[in-house]
């Protein structure tokens, strides 16, 4: 516990926090801690060859992104939040034991308290938010003290020069905390404010002295984090689905270090990117081939629509259920695209017009499949327990989760994308189905076609 924070011109931070929701308080604490995150980057300069240095920086980054994602993702199971916070805090404590700079310790404490206050409640949550702010201020002041001692300054002969400098710096930091209370409507509605991190980045650029070296670090291990923190500073954060997936990476992978996390992030980026875009020239040539055999092409389109509609209908009847899980809304939209393709192929329009219309409809089908895969890439990080009942899970495994369903769907999708069915993966869907059935009591193994992972469609 640290001393109560006073805000310039705003009275007590404690009074302000008490007047607002716990959700808003945690947002203030997180933003305060994010402001001093750059100080930990300097550890890479102090001891660049030490593995525990990079582990410490990675732990701080993990704690920050976990705090952001758990704060913004309120539907995440509360127990999962507490587990994530506990894992981060334990890792941070372990990694902090050999750290050189005092300001780094304070910044780490700020991050730890900001994360902890999300899952806490009552007076405990309030105190954790206050402590996060105070540790942030302390890290900032310690950083300014170091900068002042390392910089030639004509005013240093003044007996009160250092004290005046630090008082000015501390006042500036407290003023930025005060400004975070302006968009409290956004904070209470469920997401951190997208505002820039500093009201005057140029004036407070000295705080980023640890950031430029980190930003220029070579190699793939830090490239995502460079983009991620720059987005936070500029008020243009990386998308929440990406941050949510990263915060959900298993503790065992985090413990393997920056390289392992960089690889995991690249895999997440690939999954969130969705299917490879259809190239115009390739699609045009494929459309010409499809129209050379209109009977087979039209039949394949109708079969795709009927296969999906029948599987959904059987599931809803046997579950019983009124609708599919919300995460599968784009699956329900696929039949209409297959039917539109069939109508174009069977129409009596000119060859040129038919080619143009068919190209448009296949592009729409591709866009829908892309949205389905993106949606399910995010859904995999959600708590799926209870999304469907145990009885519904049994029906799901026999219908939408069956190999019969996906062999038919794969043939139709692959036919119009110009991709062999054996090359289709629909990886995010298959992983989602497997997890949905596992956590909701389906004991039988999920029936899936044996598909390679070379192309993510």
Give the single-character DSSP code of 238. P
Alpha-carbon span 274 to 374, nearest angstrom: 6
Could you report the per-residue pLDDT of 365-401, keeping only the tens digit for each? 999 998 888 888 878 767 788 889 988 999 999 999 8
Angle at 74 (CA atoms; ends 69, 76), nearest 5 degrees: 80
Q: What mean pLDDT is predicted for residues 161-189?
A: 70
Q: Kindly indicate the confidence band of residue 300, based on its pLDDT and cuts at 50, 70 and 90.
A: very high
| Residue 6, helix vs strand vs coil | strand
The 10 Å Cβ neighbour count of residue 34 is: 22
Distances (CA, A) of 199 to 183, 202, 243, 409: 14, 9, 24, 52
| Residue 203, helix vs strand vs coil | coil
Contact 171, 10 (CB under 8 A): no
Q: Which of 218-222, 236-240, 306-310, 401-405 has the highest mean pLDDT?
A: 306-310
Q: Is the pTM of the predicted complex or chain greater than 0.75? A: no
Total count of residues recorded for the chain: 457
Query: Helix 329-346 to helix 403-417 angle, to the nearest 10 degrees?
Result: 50
Could you report the per-residue pLDDT of 147-170, keeping only the tens digit for each? 777 766 555 556 677 787 788 778
């Amino acid at each position: 516990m640290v001393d109560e924070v006073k805000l310039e011109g705003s009275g007590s931070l404690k009074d302000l926090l008490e007047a607002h929701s716990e959700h808003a308080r945690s947002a203030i604490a997180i933003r305060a801690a994010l402001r001093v995150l750059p100080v930990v980057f300097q550890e890479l300069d102090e001891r660049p060859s030490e593995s525990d240095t990079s582990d410490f920086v990675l732990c701080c980054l993990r704690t920050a992104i976990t705090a952001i994602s758990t704060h913004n993702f309120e539907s995440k199971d509360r127990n999962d939040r507490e587990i994530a916070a506990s894992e981060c805090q334990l890792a941070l404590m372990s990694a902090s034991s050999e750290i050189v700079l005092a300001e780094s310790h304070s910044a780490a404490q700020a991050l730890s308290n900001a994360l902890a206050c999300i899952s806490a409640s009552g007076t405990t949550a309030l105190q954790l938010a206050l402590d996060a702010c105070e540790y942030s201020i302390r890290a900032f002041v310690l950083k300014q003290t170091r900068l002042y001692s390392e910089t030639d300054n004509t005013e240093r002969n003044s007996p009160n020069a250092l004290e005046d400098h630090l008082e000015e710096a501390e006042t500036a930091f407290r003023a930025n905390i005060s400004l975070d209370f302006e968009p409290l409507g956004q904070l209470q509605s469920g997401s951190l404010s997208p505002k820039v991190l500093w009201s005057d980045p140029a004036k407070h650029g000295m705080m980023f002295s640890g950031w430029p070296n980190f930003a220029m670090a070579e190699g793939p291990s830090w490239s995502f984090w460079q983009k991620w923190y720059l987005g936070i500073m500029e008020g243009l954060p990386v998308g929440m689905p990406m941050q949510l997936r990263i915060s959900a990476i298993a503790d065992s992978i985090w413990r393997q270090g920056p390289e392992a996390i960089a690889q995991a992030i690249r895999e997440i980026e690939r999954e969130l990117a969705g299917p490879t875009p259809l190239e115009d020239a390739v699609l045009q040539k494929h459309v010409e081939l499809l129209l050379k055999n209109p009977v087979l092409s039209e039949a394949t389109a109708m079969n795709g629509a009927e296969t999906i509609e029948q599987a959904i209908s059987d599931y809803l009847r046997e579950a019983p259920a009124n609708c599919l899980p919300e995460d599968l809304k784009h699956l329900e939209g696929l039949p209409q695209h297959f039917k539109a393709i069939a109508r174009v192929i069977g129409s009596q329009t000119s060859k040129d017009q038919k080619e143009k219309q068919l190209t448009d409809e296949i592009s729409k089908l591709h866009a829908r499949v892309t949205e389905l895969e993106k949606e399910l890439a995010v859904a995999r990080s959600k708590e799926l327990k209870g999304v469907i009942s145990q009885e519904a899970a049994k029906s799901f495994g026999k219908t939408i989760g069956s190999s019969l369903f996906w062999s038919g769907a794969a043939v139709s999708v692959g036919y119009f994308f110009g991709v062999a069915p054996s090359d289709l993966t629909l990886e995010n869907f298959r992983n989602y189905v497997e997890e949905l059935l596992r956590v909701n009591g389906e004991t039988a193994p999920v029936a899936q076609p044996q598909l390679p992972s070379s192309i993510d469609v």
